């Protein structure tokens, strides 16, 4: 059985005996080539595939380079030519998210999921977008679905923990962080998030234990956490002198620290 790829540089269909990956190298020129299916070759002209591939690859390059507005235009055109690729919809949603256009991203991620119902990455990034709009219940639902589809999906656990924390479900947030750390003990951002949840409860000792772990993983994040601990400690000292038991304690984590990535 042969598998077919399109080479944008040679402008030719390339047959390969194995399908090792979604993208591989052209044996003639070394260009990255894109997998296409037999029906596409039968039903679409090479020129149409050339136009699609150019737009899709331009979108990926713009994502790599951080040119998100250009990536949006490239993926829109790629989707206009070939609307059935969920990865293109996903990457379009990711580009919208990077520009802070979360409502647009949500619509696009949902379309990616419609095309690929087991798309764990899209569910997780949909949860991240919901978090940015304070739609935490919706975020929890889709992040749980991402984890059901991919039980070791650390970004989905991270986004789920963030959702729980921001609606005050701290015990569930802590449990989710611990599950994440069990899967990936060296995930520094998870230790930071867990420490910040502890701080939101006023549990400085537990936060300091996480800080000691962070010092071995990411000294910059450890210093960030230490600053938060020092600030909270100073507030506690100040609160002792305030009348009527009022406190200045609050949340010590940033909901903007949600996780997502491009589908490259």
> Domain for residue 262, yes or no?
no
What average pLDDT does the segment 85-99 reach?
95
**Is there a single domain that holds both residue 184 and residue 235?**
yes
143, 260, 216, 180: CA torsion to nearest 10: 10
Q: Identify which of 50-59, 152-161, 245-254 has the greatest average pLDDT.
A: 152-161
Domain of residue 100: give its range. 46-245
**Is there a single domain that holds both residue 50 and residue 181?**
yes
The CATH number of whichever domain residue 8 belongs to comes to 2.20.28
Domain total in the chain: 2
Q: How far apart are CA 166 and CA 48, in angstroms?
A: 47
**Is there a single domain that holds both residue 35 and residue 121?**
no
CB 50 within 8 A of CB 31: no
**Is there a single domain that holds both residue 123 and residue 196?**
yes
Average pLDDT, the chain: 81
184, 190, 195, 200: CA torsion to nearest 10: -140
pLDDT for res 104: 97
**Is there a single domain that holds both residue 87 and residue 147?**
yes
The single-letter DSSP state of residue 18 is: -
**Is there a single domain that holds both residue 38 and residue 117?**
no
pTM score: 0.75
> Domain for residue 261, yes or no?
no
Work out the angle between the directed axes of helices 188-200 and 204-217 (0-180°, nearest 10).
Answer: 160
Side-by-side strand order, sheet with 23-25: 12-16, 3-7, 32-36, 23-25
**Is there a single domain that holds both residue 30 and residue 121?**
no
**Is there a single domain that holds both residue 37 and residue 71?**
no
**Is there a single domain that holds both residue 106 and residue 63?**
yes
**Is there a single domain that holds both residue 191 and residue 98?**
yes
pLDDT for res 209: 94
* 233 contacts: CB under 8 Å, gap ≥ 6: 204
Residue 129 in this model has a pLDDT that exceeds 90: yes
Residue 93 in this model has a pLDDT that exceeds 70: yes
pLDDT tens for each residue of 26-44 = 666 666 555 555 444 444 5
């Amino acid at each position: 059985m042969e598998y077919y790829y399109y080479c944008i540089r040679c402008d030719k269909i390339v047959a390969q005996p194995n399908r090792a990956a979604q993208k591989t190298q052209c044996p003639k020129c070394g260009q990255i080539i894109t997998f296409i299916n037999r029906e596409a070759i039968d039903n679409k002209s090479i020129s149409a595939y050339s136009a699609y591939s150019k737009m899709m690859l331009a979108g990926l390059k713009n994502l790599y380079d951080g040119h998100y507005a250009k990536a949006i235009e490239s993926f829109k055109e790629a989707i206009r030519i070939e609307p059935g690729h969920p990865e293109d919809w996903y990457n379009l949603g990711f580009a919208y998210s990077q520009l802070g256009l979360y409502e647009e991203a949500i619509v696009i991620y949902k379309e990616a999921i419609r095309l690929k119902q087991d798309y764990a990455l899209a569910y997780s990034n949909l949860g991240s977008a919901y978090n940015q709009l304070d739609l935490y219940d919706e975020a929890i639902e889709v992040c749980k679905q991402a984890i059901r589809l991919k039980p070791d999906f650390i970004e989905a656990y991270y986004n789920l923990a963030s959702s729980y924390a921001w609606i005050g479900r701290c015990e569930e947030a802590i449990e989710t962080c611990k599950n994440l750390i069990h899967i990936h003990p060296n995930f520094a951002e998870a230790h930071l998030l867990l420490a910040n949840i502890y701080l939101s409860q006023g549990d400085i000792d537990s936060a300091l234990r996480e800080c000691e772990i962070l010092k071995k993983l990411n000294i910059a994040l450890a210093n960030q956490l230490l600053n938060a601990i020092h600030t909270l400690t100073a507030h506690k000292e100040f609160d002792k002198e305030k009348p009527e038991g009022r406190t200045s304690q609050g949340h010590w984590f940033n909901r903007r620290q949600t996780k997502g990535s491009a589908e490259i």
